[in-house]
């Protein structure tokens, strides 16, 4: 896509119209969009993301690596085949590597998601990045309230908060190091958490590692216990 500002504005108008048609501006989706509709708005949003970041001087290789990260964590699964006997590496699965599209798993599998939901999760990652601290502000507010369903907040810089620390991840740090951000789940797969736009989220790498296989609430309770055991007085603010 062209990174001309007029092309970016026209694409924003198109995406807004699509979001309204899919009711992504309302607190809850009444029915999951079709696979084709979810895929189309994801592709247009990825196109906007790339064109807008290029317009703001972000190098193409960096933007592409972000989009690859979103794809691997949104529509695709974590590495899913067992490791080798020596534990040195996971086996590869032909052209698909050791990740696969989530809708190819049995519906009972922890990694399963419909194609539509996989697209919506990836869309959430794209939008969360544009909602980080120091993210470049879109040239129009037309999309500000278009994705309340997906984001649970307005699409504006600094509005996305890490679910554990409640601080807004720094977009500039993500640009410098893609490992700064990981994907996670408020309720992890190990606790029967589902891969959907309400549960899947980007997270600070340190938060994701600290959470491990706990839910966010369980992780916070563990942190309170550790602080209390070390003599700190921990009280939740009203």
Could you tell me how many residues make up the chain? 238
CA 37 to chain centre: 19
d(CA 120, CA 102): 13
> What DSSP state is assigned to residue 3?
-
Q: What's the pLDDT tens digit per position in 138-196?
A: 999 999 999 999 999 999 999 999 999 999 999 999 999 999 999 999 999 999 999 99
Q: What's the pLDDT tens digit per position in 19-57?
A: 999 999 887 666 789 999 999 999 999 999 999 999 999
Give the pLDDT score at 94: 45
The pTM of the full predicted model, rounded to 2 decimals, is: 0.91
Q: What's the pLDDT tens digit per position in 81-104?
A: 765 445 555 555 545 557 889 999
Give the pLDDT score at 88: 57
In the chain, what is the straight-line distance between the N-terminal and C-terminal CA atoms, in Å?
Answer: 48
Give the pLDDT score at 31: 77
Give the pLDDT score at 28: 67
């Amino acid at each position: 896509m062209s990174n001309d500002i007029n092309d970016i504005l026209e694409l924003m108008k198109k995406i807004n119209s699509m979001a309204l048609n899919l009711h992504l501006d309302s607190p809850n989706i009444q029915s999951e969009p079709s696979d084709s509709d979810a895929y189309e708005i994801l592709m247009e949003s990825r196109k906007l993301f790339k064109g807008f970041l290029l317009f703001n001087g972000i190098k193409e290789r960096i933007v592409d690596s972000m989009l690859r990260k979103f794809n691997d964590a949104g529509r695709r699964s974590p590495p899913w085949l067992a490791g080798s006997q020596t534990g040195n590496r996971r086996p590869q699965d032909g052209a698909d590597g050791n990740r696969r599209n989530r809708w190819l798993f049995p519906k009972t599998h922890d990694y399963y998601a419909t194609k539509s939901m996989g697209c919506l999760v990836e869309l959430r990652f794209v939008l969360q990045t544009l909602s980080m601290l120091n993210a470049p502000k879109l040239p129009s507010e037309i999309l500000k309230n278009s994705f309340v369903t997906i984001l649970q907040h307005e699409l504006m810089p600094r509005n996305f908060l890490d679910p554990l620390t409640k601080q807004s991840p720094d977009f500039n740090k993500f640009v410098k190091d893609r490992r700064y951000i990981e994907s996670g789940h408020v309720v992890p797969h190990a606790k029967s958490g589902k891969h959907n736009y309400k549960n899947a989220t980007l997270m600070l790498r340190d938060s994701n590692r600290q959470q491990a296989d706990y839910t966010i609430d369980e992780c916070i309770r563990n942190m309170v216990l550790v602080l209390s055991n070390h003599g700190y007085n921990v009280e939740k603010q009203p």
